[in-house]
Amino acid sequence: MKFFKSLSTGQRTIALSLGFMLVLSIVRLFTNADDLTSSGTISSTLRVATPILLAGLAGVWAERVGIVNIGIEGMMIIGTWFGGYGAWKWGSWAGIGLAIIAGSLVGLLHALATVRFNVNHVVSGIAINILAAGTTEYLSIIFFKGQQGGGESQSPAGKGGYGQFDMPFLSGGRIGSWRSPDMMGWIEKKHNLPLLPDLAGFVRGLCSDIYIPTIVAIALVPITAYILWRTRFGLRVRSSGESPQAGESLGVPINRLRYQAMAISGGLAAFGGAYLSCVFTSTYRQGQTGGQGYIGLATTIFGNWTPFGVFRGAILFGFPSALKFRDEKNVPALLLVIAVILVAASIVSLLRNKHLLATGLLIGAAVSAATYFLVDAVPQEFVAATPYIVTILVLAGAQQQLRPPAHAGIAYRAGENH
């Protein structure tokens, strides 16, 4: 325990990740669910997690500036439509660009309502979700119906794809015309070894078949962290979310910042939407987002309103879905993973003299393990509900550890002391 506490945050993260890897590796050896840590699963997780990640970052930008954004889902929907339209007319990158512009405008609308007109943030967000759904359905009928490959609820296929990227040596990428050896792929196939193939699968998954928009999205995590915590603009944004009166007294233009941050938030959410309609697939479909905007909102909370936390949440929430995409048979192995983690958590809380919590966690572990031996398949509804249940549990159990921006969602008018 003492040793663990002496580590820095970064070291702790690495230690915990390695520990998690070890658990996965043991469970994989035990259950023969080889896909649990295969490079395919990892890269598929990245693909599933990207829109959630972008929606979560949208939540971070909005809430950090002090505006609750329930409208992320609506902004994503707008993103899927304009992404699909742009990709069909001009190509896939144009789709993403158009989506970001449209999303920023919707973000500005939310800012206009909440900042200029002082509307309740939740109400405005709900209105935006209704508006977005109605607008996209209306526009689809006007623009896509009757076009080749298009229809009332679907756009024609987009033009052109995105460059895919393979790292040389690690995952057999090309240098010029020479194909380098796929070293990680070779290690990954040695399924009988512990840990090594898992690590190899992890590394290979991170650097093979990666779409360039995925790389951009992941790069936005450190970029957001840098802007919000290392620049003057970021400090001002956060002051607007923590205590706008204090910021205002120092001459920070709170209202302008809120418009700017909401435009960024809307653009990010719409990028997430466009990822679904231009990268993950090549057409817009009605209802494509399927509540991922709300999962993004959940990762904002789960990630304690920080970009890296959101990234962790997006990976965690994306992993079960990715596993299911690969092969339904692998999902039950996750129950064992959960059981092992719960046992570990139980031991930790026992060391901290929290006997009741330790007992509860142990019972949870037993239930989870028993379920693994009793069922053949985990119903997909449970996989779908996981992010929401986890978020409720986190909110209910770890409220002390969460620190939302103090002024998020509270009515504020520049020049008036409330």
User: How far is it, in rounded angstroms, from Cα 319 to Cα 67?
Assistant: 29
Place of tokens 């204090």: 246
CB-nearer residue toward another protein: 225 or 276? 276
CB-nearer residue toward another protein: 224 or 391? 391
The nearest distance, CB 352 to another protein, in angstroms, is 20
Q: What is the rounded (10 degree) CA torsion for 322, 205, 227, 401?
A: 50
The nearest distance, CB 298 to another protein, in angstroms, is 7
User: How far is it, in rounded angstroms, from Cα 48 to Cα 170?
Assistant: 22
- Cβ–Cβ under 8 Å, residues 407 and 254: no
CB-nearer residue toward another protein: 193 or 377? 377
The nearest distance, CB 253 to another protein, in angstroms, is 22
The nearest distance, CB 357 to another protein, in angstroms, is 15
Place of tokens 């007992």: 359
Phi and psi, residue 317, nearest 5°? -75, -25
CB-nearer residue toward another protein: 133 or 369? 133
Q: Where are the alpha helices (DSSP H) in 65-144?
A: 72-89, 92-111, 121-143
Residue 78: name the closest of 42, 38, 110, 116 by CA: 110
Q: Where are the alpha helices (DSSP H) in 189-327?
A: 196-207, 212-230, 232-242, 244-249, 254-274, 292-302, 307-326
CB-nearer residue toward another protein: 15 or 393? 393
Q: Which residues bind another protein (CB under 8 A)?
A: 68, 70, 113, 117-120, 122-124, 126-135, 137-139, 141-142, 291, 294, 297-298, 301, 379, 381-382, 384-385, 388-389, 391-392, 395-397, 399
CB-nearer residue toward another protein: 212 or 389? 389
The nearest distance, CB 117 to another protein, in angstroms, is 4
The nearest distance, CB 384 to another protein, in angstroms, is 5
